[in-house]
Amino acid sequence: MTQQPFSRPGAIDLSGLGRPPAPQQAAPAAGAAAGSGSAGGAYSVAITQENFQQVLQESMTAPVVIVFHSAAQAPGSEQYAADVAAEAERLEGRLLAALVDVDAHPEIAQAMQIPQVPLTMVVLDGRPVSQPIPGALSPEELSTLFSQLGQQLTAQGITGRHQPRAGGAPAAEGEEEVVDPRYAPAEDALAAGDIDAAVAEYQKLLDANPADAEAAGGLAIAKVMQRTQGVDLNTARAAAADNPDDVDAQTLVADLDMLGGHVEDAFTRLVNLVARTSDKDREKARDHLLGLFAAVGNDDPRVLAGRRNLASALF
């Protein structure tokens, strides 16, 4: 699957939705619209014409992943919607799965000019943050996609989480957002732009529990942010181009590639550096690459491929 950096293009045009239908024509309730149990969890909701604006408003807190599915047009797409909902549950509020049954609500698909189903769209601040993703992704690809999204949001200091839902209904208004208190100090530091404090907080968590994978990933990406503070991208790239065997120059650009979402480019740069260097320079490049692997996550397919390439470069 080709990953793209997350950016923020134009806002979604909702003018085509018009007024909600009269009560006697009302669409199915949120908990039942998607069917097959694909919505109704703590962090998933079935979209109707009535709740669509409200759910988009929730993207001001954390990403909303909209999945358009249809049993009639794309058999099996309901299972894909369920997979996205399951991933949202796993991430415990880092994103909200918003599932649109196109058969029940064609007006929503028409208003958003959806060309096919299934189709996935990530929305933040009421705007799409990547190109729509056509077709069904595998659970592994979904995990990779959402892990990358989480890393990039964290790098930008965006650490909000959705409130949990009961049976697919929105949490009560005014209810406070549920955040794992273990990570709150680090996430608060990132949100405040205090990268050094975030590194220190993640390090405390790892010292207390070396098996804490989320803390390890947070520490790794926070260190990438720490190393790239105040760095000019063009200057760094020019220095790396002029000095292809300079480990510091190459690792800095690899860090910048990571923050820009170009994960595979970062890995390839450092694998090639390992292959070209020796002794202390090789060890330094290898250790840096291992740190980037930790930032992405050891189960990510790109990391698995990177490890194979690194082994080839070393032996």
Q: Give the per-residue pLDDT at 80.
A: 94
Q: Measuring CA to CA, which residue among 14, 8, 18 is closest to residue 55?
A: 14
In a domain, 305, yes or no: yes
- Percent pLDDT > 90 in the chain is 31
Mean pLDDT over 66-76 rounds to: 93
pLDDT at 200 over 80: yes
In a domain, 10, yes or no: no
Q: Give the per-residue pLDDT at 166.
A: 56
Residues 38 and 151 in one domain: yes
Q: Which of 156-160, 219-223, 286-290 has the lowest mean pLDDT?
A: 156-160
Bridging pattern class, strands 44-46 and 96-101: parallel
Instruction: Give the chain's end-to-end CA distance (angstroms, integer).
Output: 28
Q: Measuring CA to CA, which residue among 74, 87, 154 is closest to residue 117?
A: 74
Q: Which of 174-178, 220-224, 298-302 has the lowest mean pLDDT?
A: 174-178
In a domain, 281, yes or no: yes
Q: Cα separation of 262 and 249, whole Å?
A: 17
Residues 188 and 116 in one domain: no
- The confidence band for 110, taking pLDDT boundaries of 50, 70 and 90, is confident
Residues 294 and 201 in one domain: yes
Amino acid of residue 190: L
Bridging pattern class, strands 127-128 and 119-124: antiparallel
Residues 20 and 147 in one domain: yes
Contacts of 310 (CB under 8 A, 6+ apart): 271, 274, 286, 289
Q: 114, 140, 155 — which closes off a domain?
A: 155
Residues 200 and 273 in one domain: yes
Q: Measuring CA to CA, which residue among 133, 73, 77, 136 is closest to residue 103?
A: 73
Residues 109 and 219 in one domain: no
The three-state secondary structure class of 65 is strand
Residues 225 and 116 in one domain: no
pLDDT at 130 over 50: yes
Q: Give the per-residue pLDDT at 156.
A: 63
Give the domain extent around 220: 184-314
Residues 119 and 248 in one domain: no
* Spacing of C-alpha 166 from chain mean position: 24
In a domain, 6, yes or no: no
Cis check: omega of the bond before 181, within 30 degrees of 0: no
pLDDT, the chain, mean: 79
Count of structural domains within the chain: 2
Q: Which of 33-42, 206-215, 253-262, 306-315 has the lowest mean pLDDT?
A: 33-42
In a domain, 265, yes or no: yes
- The confidence band for 175, taking pLDDT boundaries of 50, 70 and 90, is very low
Q: Cα separation of 155 and 85, whole Å?
A: 24
Residues 139 and 54 in one domain: yes
Helical (H) or strand (E) element with 308: helix 301-314
Mean pLDDT over 238-263 rounds to: 90
- The confidence band for 98, taking pLDDT boundaries of 50, 70 and 90, is very high
Tokens of 199: 């590194």
Q: Give the per-residue pLDDT at 40.
A: 62
Q: What is the DSSP code (8-state) at residue 115?
A: -
In a domain, 266, yes or no: yes
Q: Cα separation of 194 and 51, whole Å?
A: 37
Could you tell me which residue, 161 or 238, shows the higher pLDDT? 238
Tokens of 252: 């800095």
Helical (H) or strand (E) element with 202: helix 195-208
Q: Give the per-residue pLDDT at 267.
A: 94
In a domain, 26, yes or no: yes
Q: Give the per-residue pLDDT at 72.
A: 92
Bridging pattern class, strands 96-101 and 119-124: unpaired
pLDDT at 202 over 70: yes
- The confidence band for 19, taking pLDDT boundaries of 50, 70 and 90, is very low
pTM above 0.75, yes or no: no
Q: Measuring CA to CA, which residue among 182, 176, 120, 114 is closest to residue 149?
A: 120
What is the domain-level CATH number for residue 211?
Answer: 1.25.40
Could you tell me which residue, 130 or 69, shows the higher pLDDT? 69
The three-state secondary structure class of 35 is coil
**Alpha carbon distances (Å) from 27 to 51, 128, 205, 249, 277:** 11, 25, 47, 58, 64
What is the domain-level CATH number for residue 20?
Answer: 3.40.30.10
Residues 28 and 133 in one domain: yes
Residues 189 and 81 in one domain: no
- The confidence band for 213, taking pLDDT boundaries of 50, 70 and 90, is confident
In a domain, 176, yes or no: no
Residues 43 and 133 in one domain: yes
